[in-house]
Amino acid sequence: MIENATFRHSMPAQIRFSDVDQFGHVNNSVYFSLYDLAKTTYVKDVLSGRMKWNEVGIVVANISANFMSPIFFMDNVNIETTTVELGNKSFTLLQRAIDPETKMVKCECRTVMVVYDLKAQTPMQIPEDYKLAICEYEGRTPEELSKKK
Amino acid sequence: MIENATFRHSMPAQIRFSDVDQFGHVNNSVYFSLYDLAKTTYVKDVLSGRMKWNEVGIVVANISANFMSPIFFMDNVNIETTTVELGNKSFTLLQRAIDPETKMVKCECRTVMVVYDLKAQTPMQIPEDYKLAICEYEGRTPEELSKKK
Amino acid sequence: MIENATFRHSMPAQIRFSDVDQFGHVNNSVYFSLYDLAKTTYVKDVLSGRMKWNEVGIVVANISANFMSPIFFMDNVNIETTTVELGNKSFTLLQRAIDPETKMVKCECRTVMVVYDLKAQTPMQIPEDYKLAICEYEGRTPEELSKKK
Amino acid sequence: MIENATFRHSMPAQIRFSDVDQFGHVNNSVYFSLYDLAKTTYVKDVLSGRMKWNEVGIVVANISANFMSPIFFMDNVNIETTTVELGNKSFTLLQRAIDPETKMVKCECRTVMVVYDLKAQTPMQIPEDYKLAICEYEGRTPEELSKKK
């Protein structure tokens, strides 16, 4: 069930006491806050100097997550992120919440992100230097990442 | 893109100021808090007297959401919920965030829920009276709901 | 311990499943989200047409809350809000989380709000029409509200 | 305005994108989630082996916070925690949100915590070994910490 992928980007997550629900589990909605933060960190780390924050927006179009195993308050959790598909106007991130010691994958998530022209308020082509930066970071060719998987 | 379905269950959502992010949009993770609350309300409304809280757990296995249009702080939003598939050990809810006046669908979400034997700590058959209660509430036959869609 | 005050403004709070912690209690931090929303609603209801959103900001300077009794997921809770002090550049709100049926006060909170000139980025005199609107809403004279209590 | 105190306990806070509101500021309610987590970490670090989780509860009775300066998404923030008063059945924590580089204090918070007999459901004397552990951690005598300040 768990997708085979190489994750070069990993962010330790700080679990808050308020994240935990009545059953002692980190609430489902919190996973998406953590994925969201990891996405922001990933984009910043991968694109850094190239980001045109005022011109190019990145918008979540679809999120799909499999919950394998609960996260408890005392658990160590890293959020790993990689790009698995790079289209013309959208790209897909694969993320997972993993225990860095046991390597147990607690949850896995795919997010389709659409690149957005903030002035025209319409989807736009992903800038070429964005694509290059992602390919370079991931050690993949544009052809490898353009294939649907 | 929006699924055709009849929603008999609708819950008005109270948007909090803290739900809104830097762009003035309700943050993605908040949608899942609202869907979660609507699920709890749905299950309570549909099963009410029949719920065996200490024996039968209901666990989220998969969530998949399409984000069509942002929600703003001042927006009115209802969360609508219906059962679209009723399996042996799992069932699937379709939910959406909709503006009750304009009928604009802002987001749509499918959740696969697994029914869980809390003592044995293992998935279990959905109790027959749960199935009946869901079919009755939705005005559908078990056959209609057993078909994958 | 509970302050004597008349509350003309009351907002029903929608408790989310994700608000509840490991002990089955609504987490402390959630109270402040609810107080925050009730403040926004109060200001909107009291000042409505008079609000100069782009010129006059309202900033929280101090929050002080007494927690008397836990709130559970199934509890009905209203957030009540009133102005108890109206100074030159700041005003103080008293709020409480109350069960509308049992009238049990679960938590009480005082917030000092500073009025802020958004252009000059400095505290400013509370506009006279704001003061009048608050006095009118609360049925109090400016003298009554200027006394520290 | 900022209290003079020595903080031996410091916890870096992970700010989430969803913590930030429409004004680009970390929402007030989030501070209390972070203070809450730092409290839990403090108690665990100070009492560790001595904790009788199933017998002795620690409950928040009062929170009072001064907000000096906004926290932005990109800010580095540590939450510092110390005990400033040790009574018979309650103790008071002083906490602050501080930029570890500029040493700017963004917010300061006092919390009165009541120690609770979980079986009898009533406040109880703070166990002697808890008191000793706190004094030892803070490098203060019980007399110094019993004085109201």
Q: What is the pLDDT of residues A96-144, one digit of tens each?
A: 999 999 999 999 999 999 999 989 989 999 999 999 999 999 999 999 9
Q: DSSP state, C118? A: T
pLDDT computed for residue A122 by the predictor: 92
| CB distance B134 to B145 below 8 Å | yes
Residue at D145 is within a domain? no
Cα angle value A16/B41/C36 (rounded, 5°): 50
pLDDT computed for residue C149 by the predictor: 55
> Does the pLDDT value for residue B15 go beyond 70?
yes
Kindly state whether B36 is in contact with chain C, defined as any CB-CB distance less than 8 angstroms. Answer: yes
Total tally of structural domains belonging to chain C: 1
Tokens of C86: 């109206």
Residue type, C62: N
Residue at C2 is within a domain? no
| pLDDT tens per residue across span A28-86 | 999 999 999 999 999 999 998 888 878 898 999 999 999 999 999 999 999 999 999 99
Q: Which residues of D touch B24 (CB under 8 A)?
A: 22
Q: Distances from the Cα of B53 to the Cαs of B56, B72, B139, D41, in angstroms?
A: 6, 36, 25, 32
- Spell out where A14-149 has E strands: 56-67, 77-86, 90-98, 105-117, 122-123
Q: Give the CATH number, domain containing residue B129.
A: 3.10.129.10
Residue at C146 is within a domain? no
Low-confidence ranges of chain D (pLDDT < 50): none
| pLDDT tens per residue across span B53-97 | 788 989 999 999 999 999 999 999 999 999 999 999 999 999 999
pLDDT grade, residue A16 (50/70/90)? very high
Residue at D133 is within a domain? yes
User: Which D residues in the span 47-106 are in contact with B, Cβ-Cβ below 8 Å?
Assistant: 73
Q: Are strands B56-67 and A105-117 parallel, antiparallel or unpaired?
A: unpaired
pLDDT grade, residue C148 (50/70/90)? low
Buried-exposed string A64-97: b where 16+ CB fall within 10 A, e elsewhere: bbbbeebbebebebbbbbbbbbbbeebbbbbbbb
pLDDT computed for residue A1 by the predictor: 59
Residue type, B116: Y
| CB distance C24 to C72 below 8 Å | yes
B–D CB contacts, 8 A cutoff, strictly below:
27
Q: Are strands C90-98 and C105-117 parallel, antiparallel or unpaired?
A: antiparallel
Residue at D22 is within a domain? yes
pLDDT grade, residue B23 (50/70/90)? confident
pLDDT computed for residue C52 by the predictor: 80
pLDDT computed for residue D132 by the predictor: 95
- Spell out where chain D has E strands: 9-13, 56-67, 77-86, 90-98, 105-117, 122-123
The residue with tokens 């913590």 is D19
A–C CB contacts, 8 A cutoff, strictly below:
26
| CB distance A18 to C30 below 8 Å | yes
Q: How far apart are CA D102 and CA A73, in angstroms?
A: 31
Helix (H) or strand (E) holding C108: strand C105-117
What is this structure's pTM?
A: 0.94
Please name the residues in contact with A89: beta carbons below 8 A apart, sequence gap of 6 or more: A114, A115, A123, A124, A125, A126
**Does the distance separating the beta carbons of C40 and B33 come in below 8 Å?**
no
pLDDT grade, residue C126 (50/70/90)? very high
| Smallest CA–CA distance from D19 into chain A, residue | A33
**Does the distance separating the beta carbons of A18 and C30 come in below 8 Å?**
yes
Q: How far apart are CA C81 and CA C10, in angstroms?
A: 6
Residue at C55 is within a domain? yes
The closest CB to that of B24, out of D18, D22, D73, belongs to D22
The residue with tokens 């560790």 is D48
Q: Which residues of A touch D13 (CB under 8 A)?
A: 14
Residue type, A30: V
Helix (H) or strand (E) holding C109: strand C105-117
Domain of residue C58 covers 9-138
Look over chain B and give the mean of its residue pLDDT values, rounded to a whole number.
93
The closest CB to that of A20, out of C17, C21, C30, belongs to C21
Residue at D84 is within a domain? yes
Q: Which residues of B touch D75 (CB under 8 A)?
A: none
pLDDT grade, residue C100 (50/70/90)? very high
Q: DSSP state, A147? A: S
* Backbone conformation region of residue D57, classed left if phi is above 0, alpha if psi is from -120 to 50, else beta: beta
How much is the ipTM here?
A: 0.92
D17 to chain A nearest CA, in Å?
6
| Smallest CA–CA distance from D32 into chain A, residue | A18
Residue type, C87: G
Q: How far apart are CA A58 and CA B143, in angstroms?
A: 42
State the average pLDDT over residues C7-11: 98
| pLDDT tens per residue across span C27-44 | 999 999 999 999 999 999
Residue at C149 is within a domain? no
Q: Are strands C77-86 and C122-123 parallel, antiparallel or unpaired?
A: unpaired
